[in-house]
């Protein structure tokens, strides 16, 4: 598919992340204005509430844009999703007879504050990157052997929806309990091995009932769109707590997502196959069409001492071993009901080369191999004041599909509240 031309000139640049081919969904505010739904087009945002009031976006008898989140559109179902995208393409496309009316509903994106684009109902994080899983095995257990179940099922755990925040929200260094290998007792204090995990998040748009398994085709139809996701990780807290039940406090203090939901329709031209299988999957996980996407990913790190961000890793979404549809299918197969607004983290996305590792745990090999930044500083894990940024772009024929940055600055830990006089 080539670039779709818009009368919004900035949307026609080959390297702009928000062309007419994209039309990602977010929530924004200007000044003291209440947050509202918007669609990014070039350097502008279409105010959906204003467009609905002006009669440009009429998708049913009831108003859908009178709330500051996209869950209502999700719950309206795939027919409404398709109708909305077709209508947006019509009014924002080159030659539109409704340009003047639409122009009145546009605001400059540079002056907007971006908010959480949807209400997260539940959050599940998976472990679907094979290279990451093998790297973690080598780091923690001395060899790349995978757990016996890893090549058969998408492994995941239920996380904290209350800790999911939009890009730009600072993250406080967590306090917690850790134990040094040679210590007789654990100790309490700030996390010393703070990390990121480069992930994509799939957003469930339509529900399935409790007790009703779904196929991978049904699961793919249920997905509304995708965001970048940073699963902040306190490695030392996690390392002490995770046996036998897995992550808890080491993952509960913050998960950042990018502010724009890129719809599945926008990503259709970039579908690609999952990697070859080492072991054949059980039939319920088989897919009738490619489940991954060709999306280029970056991790950037910027110390507080400089305005220069360093690219520390570059990889691709197609490195995953399991697709979001397979993850969603496995999540529901035992009878777990899924909701509109559920968020599924892909798991850390790493490639075979060190430059493609999607966590600092891998890049520094558990702190044993510091890596250099462009300003001459070195890091093993994240220091206070560091800003971590994830970026994603899918490169089309004369256009780019972008997600917007997923960024967060690390604030110092609070003083120990349990030792105050």
In the chain, what is the straight-line distance between the N-terminal and C-terminal CA atoms, in Å?
Answer: 66
The answer for residues whose C-beta is within 8 angstroms of residue 142's C-beta and 6 or more apart is none
Alpha-carbon span 102 to 131, nearest angstrom: 47
Cis peptide before 244 (omega within 30 of 0): yes
Q: Is 330 a catalytic residue?
A: no
User: Is residue 93 within 8 Å of 4, Cβ to Cβ?
Assistant: yes
Q: What is the DSSP letter of 380?
A: S
Please indicate, yes or no, whether the overall pTM of this predicted structure exceeds 0.95: yes
The answer for residues whose C-beta is within 8 angstroms of residue 40's C-beta and 6 or more apart is 18, 22, 23, 24, 26, 109, 260, 404
Query: Nearest 5°: CA angle at 234, between 178 and 349?
Result: 140
Name which of 195, 162, 192, 164 is nearest 177 in CA terms: 192
Name which of 310, 289, 157, 140 is nearest 223 in CA terms: 289
User: Is residue 194 within 8 Å of 176, Cβ to Cβ?
Assistant: no
Total Cβ atoms within 10 A of residue 221: 14
User: pLDDT tens track of the chain, all 421 residues?
Assistant: 899 999 999 999 999 999 999 999 999 999 999 999 999 999 999 999 999 999 999 998 889 999 999 999 999 999 999 999 999 999 999 999 999 999 999 999 999 999 999 999 999 999 999 999 999 999 999 999 999 999 999 999 999 999 999 999 999 999 999 999 899 999 999 999 999 999 999 999 999 999 999 999 999 999 999 999 999 999 999 999 998 988 999 999 999 999 999 999 999 999 999 998 999 999 999 999 999 999 999 999 999 999 999 999 999 999 999 999 999 999 999 999 999 999 999 999 999 999 999 999 999 999 999 999 999 999 999 999 999 999 999 999 999 999 999 999 999 999 988 875 4
Q: Which of 132, 152, 330, 331 is catalytic?
A: 132
Beta 378-379 vs 123-126: how paired, if at all? unpaired
């Amino acid at each position: 598919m080539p670039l779709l031309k818009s009368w919004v000139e900035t949307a026609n640049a080959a390297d702009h992340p928000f062309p007419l081919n994209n039309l990602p969904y977010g929530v924004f505010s200007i000044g003291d204005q209440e947050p509202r739904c918007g669609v990014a087009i070039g350097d502008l945002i279409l105010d959906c509430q204003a467009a609905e009031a002006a009669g440009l976006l009429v998708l049913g008898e009831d108003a859908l844009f009178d709330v500051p989140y996209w869950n209502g559109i999700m719950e309206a179902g795939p027919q409404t999703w398709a109708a909305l995208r077709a209508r947006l393409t019509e009014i924002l496309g080159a030659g539109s007879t409704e340009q003047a009316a639409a122009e009145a509903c546009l605001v400059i994106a540079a002056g907007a504050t971006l908010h959480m684009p949807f209400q997260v109902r539940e959050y599940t994080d998976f472990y679907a990157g094979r290279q990451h899983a093998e790297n973690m095995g080598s780091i923690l257990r001395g060899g790349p052997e995978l757990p016996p179940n890893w090549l058969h099922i998408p492994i995941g755990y239920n996380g904290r929806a209350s800790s999911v925040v939009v890009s730009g929200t600072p993250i406080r260094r967590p306090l917690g309990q850790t134990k040094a290998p040679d210590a007789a007792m654990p100790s309490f204090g700030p996390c010393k091995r703070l990390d990121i995990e480069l992930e994509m998040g799939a957003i469930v748009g339509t529900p399935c009932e409790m007790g009703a398994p779904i196929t991978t085709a049904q699961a793919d139809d249920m997905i509304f769109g995708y965001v970048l996701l940073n699963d902040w990780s306190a490695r030392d807290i996690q390392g002490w707590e995770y046996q036998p039940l897995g992550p808890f406090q080491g993952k509960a203090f913050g998960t950042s997502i990018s502010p724009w939901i890129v719809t599945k329709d926008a990503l259709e031209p970039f579908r690609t196959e999952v990697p070859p299988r080492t072991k054949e999957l059980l039939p319920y996980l088989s897919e009738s069409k490619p489940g991954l996407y060709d999306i280029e990913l970056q991790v950037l790190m910027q110390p507080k001492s400089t305005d220069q961000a360093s690219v520390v890793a570059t990889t691709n979404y197609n490195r995953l071993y399991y697709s979001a549809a397979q993850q969603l299918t496995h999540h529901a197969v035992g009878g777990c009901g899924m909701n509109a607004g559920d968020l599924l983290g892909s798991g850390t996305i790493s490639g075979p080369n060190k430059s493609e590792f999607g966590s600092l745990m891998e890049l520094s090999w558990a702190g044993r191999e510091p890596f250099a930044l462009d300003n001459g500083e070195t890091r093993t894990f994240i220091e206070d004041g560091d800003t971590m940024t994830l970026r994603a772009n899918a490169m089309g024929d004369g256009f780019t599909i972008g997600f917007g940055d997923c960024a967060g600055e690390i604030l110092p830990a609070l003083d120990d509240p349990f030792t105050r006089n």
